[in-house]
């Protein structure tokens, strides 16, 4: 009797930890989404206001996060930079989901030449590291929000396509799919009404994890000067400008890098907890 109660307690504890992790990470993400939508409510100053006699100041009552080399409020620029990072992240992940799901479902459901040609294209795209390819493409195309969205979205289509292709292959031969074919349901109905609803869980989890990766990639490109052109604030640009004055004012790097770390970690924890919650095998093992 005693041995039977231990797994239940472990299962309840594990479930509680996953639930707390989901709520905590979701709360952090929700807060930053609100900040991105309404930056004026959280920014104490204009992000472009220059005060020449307050340059490179540390945290104070007037400037909670200090000022940069031009005398601009770092906190206000971080707040307005949230809008850029989230806009690029959500836009690029939307491109990734639309392209990756289309490629993966078509290749996994129709098989044959569709599968061979699409998956070989995916394999070729996976040969190139995303960061290197992003630097090359954005370097030639030039900076801009729309270009960042398209480039980052296209870079992660292969990973989403591989995931969806694998999930579609495991679903297409099941009995309820065969039953739909037997009653004469068209392929479009089977894909939209049967296949996609049953593979939505891994798609949602992968998209959530990609949000953090997209924010990190956008910040990396902005750090290299390939992101949103100045004076538009961006987390990566703040870190890049602040590193020049690390000895005089390290806060210009510490605060934007800290915010970036918190957001990326929140998306990773949320996606990981969401995967555990949506996976029926993990729920059944408790």
**pLDDT for 249-285, tens place per residue?**
889 899 999 999 999 999 999 988 888 777 655 554 4
Is the C-alpha dihedral spanning 145, 151, 157, 159 positive or negative?
A: negative
Burial of 125 by CB count in 10 Å (0-12 exposed, 13-18 middle, 19+ buried)?
middle
Give the residue among 194, 134, 137, 138 at the shortest CA–CA distance from 167: 194
Is the C-alpha dihedral spanning 201, 203, 204, 205 positive or negative?
A: positive
Tokens 């040969």 appear where? Answer: 127
Q: What is the pLDDT of residues 129-154, one digit of tens each?
A: 777 878 887 777 777 888 889 888 98
Read off the tokens for 278.
């949506």
3-state helix, strand, coil in the chain (%, to 5): 75, 0, 20
CA–CA separation, 62 and 44 (whole Å): 9
Q: Give 67's strand partners.
A: 73
Per-residue pLDDT for 184 more than 90?
no
Q: Rounded to two decimals, what is the model's pTM? A: 0.85
CB atoms closer than 10 angstroms to residue 61: 5
DSSP state at residue 245: G
Domains in the chain, CATH or no CATH each: 2-284 (1.10.3720.10)
**Most confidently modeled range among 6-15, 67-76, 182-191:** 67-76
Question: In the chain, at which residue ranges do the beta strands (DSSP E only) sit?
Answer: none
């Amino acid at each position: 009797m005693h041995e039977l109660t231990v797994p239940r307690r472990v299962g309840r504890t594990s479930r509680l930890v996953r639930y707390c992790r989901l709520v905590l990470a979701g709360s952090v993400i929700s807060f930053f989404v609100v900040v991105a939508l309404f930056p004026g409510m959280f920014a104490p100053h204009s992000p472009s206001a220059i005060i020449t006699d307050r340059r490179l100041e540390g945290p104070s009552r007037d400037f909670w996060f200090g000022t940069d080399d031009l005398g601009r409020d770092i906190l206000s620029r971080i707040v307005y930079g949230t809008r850029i990072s989230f806009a690029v992240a959500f836009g690029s992940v939307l491109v990734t989901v639309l392209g990756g799901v289309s490629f993966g479902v078509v290749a996994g459901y129709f098989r044959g030449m569709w599968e061979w040609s699409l998956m070989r294209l995916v394999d070729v795209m996976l040969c190139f590291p995303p960061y290197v390819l992003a630097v090359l493409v954005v370097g030639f195309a030039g900076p801009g929000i729309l270009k960042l969205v398209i480039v980052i979205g296209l870079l992660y289509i292969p990973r989403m396509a591989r995931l969806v292709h694998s999930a579609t292959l495991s679903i297409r031969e099941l009995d309820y799919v065969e039953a739909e074919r037997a009653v004469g349901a068209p392929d479009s109905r089977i894909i939209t009404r049967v296949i996609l609803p049953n593979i939505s869980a891994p798609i949602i989890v992968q998209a959530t994890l990609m949000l953090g990766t997209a924010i990190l990639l956008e910040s990396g490109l902005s750090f290299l000067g390939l992101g949103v052109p100045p004076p538009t604030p961006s987390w990566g640009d703040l870190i890049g400008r602040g590193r020049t004055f690390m000895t005089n004012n390290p806060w210009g790097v510490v605060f934007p890098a800290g915010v970036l770390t918190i957001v990326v970690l929140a998306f990773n924890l949320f996606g990981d907890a969401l995967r555990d919650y949506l996976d029926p095998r993990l729920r059944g093992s408790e």
